[in-house]
Amino acid sequence: MSESDKTTQYTAFRLAEKHFKNRASRDKLPSLRKYQDTLVDLSRPHRQEDDPLWHAGWWSPLNDADVKSASWMPWTFGKGKERDKGERPELSISELKEIQLKDGKVGWIVEPETEPGSVIGYEEIVARNKSWTGDIPSDKLKEKTVSQLMGEIRWANLGWVYQWSTKSYDLSREIPIPFPPELAKICRKVSASVPWAEVWPAHSCGWETWEEDYAPDTGIVNFYQEGQTLMAHVDRSELDPARPLVSLSLGHSAILLLGTTSRQDPPRPIVLRSGDCLIMSGNGRQAYHGVPRILEGTLPSHFGPLETDTDSMAAIKRFISSARININARQVFPPGFQRRDIT
């Protein structure tokens, strides 16, 4: 198979991932400004002076020639190699709906074309749990210092433990690991601020009770160093396929790609800045999504070191100086669900 045959087989989602991952013009960051009509960037400040993305150069007009500047590179010759740089999705943001949240803030509704959810179901989770024999640590593992491990940590679990090898939660514990109450409070507050009737006017996905009974019990914390990515995926291991997944971003900004139920459809690029909150709910929970780029040099200045920092605050700031943290909270068990024996 020729190189060009291979590359034309990339899905639209993969092409978008390749586009945002592209590091060909190392001395210049590719421009986001040039494509601002297709980028959701809800918390972009009104003044450029206040914008870490502007300071880093992602919005700078100086970088507008990003693709052209790399045109001498050998890999731009030949159709296949050209396509290997990926393709920027051209979905206009003009049709997105803005909503007023109940706490006075403003939100945007991004409504991908998705089918109603399907989940793996409790019986299937039980079966997967039984087949799980544990992940054996690699014998290549060597002793490491805490600071080495901090640079390598990729994810951590809150509440029910997610097993990547079976793509299911380990529900065999009699008493689950508690989900941090302070975080649950924040997620419930965020969910309660959404006027759900406006988000889902045409059909109910159960949102009528969320204000009272949304209670996240599980979460994944993703740690990204610059250059790390998260491939396109769908989260479908929770028993209610529609309940909100509340996703909070901290540290460096990132591009999140939000697609549909098919990787063949072009995904919508969304800039997630530190402090941004993305909620996936209803059919939207079934959409492919991934993080192809941590935007280098975009750490907000308030993460800078201070003489008054405690040791633990100084350690956190050292970590985040080259990283992004994403905390996403989900509710595995719908209210009133009776867990049957799993042994």
Ligand X SMILES: O=C(O)CCC(=O)C(=O)O
- Binding-site positions for Fe cation read 233, 235, 289
CB of 89 to ligand X, least distance (A): 17
Closest to ligand X by CB, 171 vs 256, is: 256
Does residue number 328 form part of the binding site for ligand X (CB under 6 A)? yes
Closest to ligand X by CB, 34 vs 236, is: 236
Report how far residue 268's alpha carbon sits from residue 88's, in angstroms, rounded to the nearest whole number.
10
Report how far residue 169's alpha carbon sits from residue 330's, in angstroms, rounded to the nearest whole number.
12
Report how far residue 53's alpha carbon sits from residue 36's, in angstroms, rounded to the nearest whole number.
13
Closest to ligand X by CB, 70 vs 120, is: 120
Which residues between 194 and 253 bind ligand X (CB under 6 A)?
Answer: 220, 222, 230, 235, 247
Report how far residue 142's alpha carbon sits from residue 92's, in angstroms, rounded to the nearest whole number.
49
CB of 208 to ligand X, least distance (A): 26
CB of 255 to ligand X, least distance (A): 10
Q: Give the gyration radius of the chain's Cα atoms.
A: 21
Number of residues that bind ligand X (CB under 6 A): 11
Closest to ligand X by CB, 21 vs 81, is: 21
Q: Which of 326, 329, 331, 332 binds ligand X (CB under 6 A)?
A: 326
CB of 220 to ligand X, least distance (A): 5
CB of 247 to ligand X, least distance (A): 5
Binding pattern for the stretch 96-125 against ligand X, x by CB under 6 A and - elsewhere: ------------------------------
Which residues between 291 and 310 bind ligand X (CB under 6 A)?
Answer: 291
Q: Which of 40, 270, 271, 272 binds ligand X (CB under 6 A)?
A: 272
- For residue 205, give the nearest of 258, 284, 277, 260 by alpha carbon: 284
CB of 24 to ligand X, least distance (A): 24
Q: Which of 171, 246, 256, 294 binds ligand X (CB under 6 A)?
A: 256
Angle (nearest 5°) at CA 224 between 149 and 331: 100
Q: Which of 188, 252, 289, 293 binds ligand X (CB under 6 A)?
A: 289
Binding site: which residues? Answer: 233, 235, 289
Closest to ligand X by CB, 32 vs 279, is: 279
CB of 144 to ligand X, least distance (A): 24
Closest to ligand X by CB, 220 vs 279, is: 220
Q: What is the number of other CB atoms lying within 10 angstroms of the CB of residue 189?
A: 11
Residue 158 backbone phi and psi in degrees, to 5:
-120, 135
Closest to ligand X by CB, 91 vs 277, is: 277
Site for ligand X, rule CB under 6 A: 220, 222, 230, 235, 247, 256, 272, 289, 291, 326, 328
